Amino acid sequence: MNKITVNSSIQAGSGDQPDRGDEDDEETTPLLAQGVSRGASFASSVFNLMNAIMGSGILGLAYAMANTGIVGFSVLLLLVSGLASYSIHLLLTLCDQTGLNSYEALGEKAFNRAGKVLVACTIVIQNIGAMASYMFILKSELPATIRSFVRTEASGVWYEDGVILLILVTVCVVLPLALLPKIGFLGYTSSLSFFFMLFFAVVVVVKKWSIPCPLPLNSTLSLVMTTQQTFSNSSSSNCTAQLFVFSSKSAYAIPTMAFSFLCHTAILPIYCELHRPTKQRMQNVANVSISLSFLVYLVSALFGYLTFYAQVDSELLLGYDAYLPRDVLVTTVRLLILLAVLLTVPLIHFPARKAVLMLFWGERRFSWLSHCLSTFLLLLLVVLLAVYVPDIRNVFGVVGSTTSTCLLFVYPGLFYLRISFDDVRSCGSVGAGALVVFGVFVGLLSLCIIVLSWAQMS
């Protein structure tokens, strides 16, 4: 019975309009015509996409709220998440119209081979930068996290070496997951990653009532701050929540939010492996993923801000370390955040490997040799960058600000304007044009901010 339904869907898919006589007959796409009849479940796809969305950026959103205000932050977060969902809608619409199922193929359709190479290189640069920065975080933070659990005064032990820990987690965790041939297999680890982030948000809410305002001053922190004469007295701490804040630091908010919702390199691979892969079904996956991520982001940012107010740190967990040293719950959250970042690396690796294979081997059948070789080489490059580049987050700051903005806003809008048959004055074309303008604005803004920050530091 299922086979008859699929075959009839394929035949109906050759027309311009799908049959909408039955509510259960979802909009057919060319992906069905390629014989994809069974794949990842809806829930598994949601978890994979959420894992691609949420990363270590969640630690900086409370700082963004402190520099924009509660209402300002909420409006901007809603705007960016809505635009992210709309850009995904444009990508899925193009896939439906053209029968193409990869970001690179859409680039080739829009701008010939130059477009394909541009998109593939952008994906590779963006994802290598993201993976390397995540590995850098693991190398820097994991030894201290383990040490806080062990609570020993011994020095020189192996688990205090970040490089050794990085190699161990890469070989034992990242490599086996990255070698999986299908992205749908990562649904189980992605669900773990999401629940780790959810637990982080819950702890931020709970700890709101553990740190009073004005902020307390422990003895160690008091000594350091008194020596440097930079600490403002606790009696003068600002304990009033601001609804709107405008300052030079407010400009960091939109780029931070934009990068926090970047998942577009994983959209089409997840779409290809989705069970009953229709445009509407995949759009529902994206909408659910973005909505849940929005809620987790908003709750963690709000209660993190209401805990520290104007004194919130750019990395939220550092504030808890200062005022709740060796707190078991905070230490556990730090470990879980690191595990969530670790489990995100294989998911980011998948589209990067796919882009490399498309660049060098083209649209060939699956080969374990090229699959394993590209996996090993990409992970080796990522580990080497994380180990030997001392300031990797700044190095990839410029690259990330440009490539992330292109993948999130600019490319979907440009491709839609180039490929779609819509009239230039239609709502779709106007929306795509606005998306391109917004993306160029955000990209230039974030790039200027990074360059100015470097100039001030030098």
SS3 category, 78: helix
Residue 176's pLDDT is what? 92
Q: Which amino acid is at 117?
A: V
Q: What do you get for the CA distance between the two ends of the chain, in Å?
A: 69
pLDDT value at 397 more than 90: no
pLDDT of residue 458: 61
Contact 61, 300 (CB under 8 A): yes
CB atoms within 10 A of CB 101: 18
pLDDT of 105 > 80? The answer is: yes
Q: What is the pLDDT of residue 344?
A: 87
| CA–CA gap between residue 9 and residue 5 (Å, rounded) | 6
Q: Which of 14-23, 66-75, 103-112, 295-304 has the lowest mean pLDDT?
A: 14-23
Categorise residue 25: left if φ over 0, alpha if ψ from -120 to 50, beta otherwise. beta
Q: For CA atoms 32, 36, 40, 46, give the dihedral sign.
A: negative
What the chain holds in terms of domains, given with CATH numbers, is: 43-393 (1.20.1740.10)
Between 439 and 366, the higher pLDDT residue: 439
Question: What gap in Å lies between CA 180 and CA 189, rounded to an integer?
Answer: 12
For residue 214, whether the previous peptide bond is cis, meaning omega lies within 30 degrees of 0, is yes
pTM of the full structure: 0.78
With H, G, I as helix, E, B as strand and everything else as coil, classify residue 327.
coil
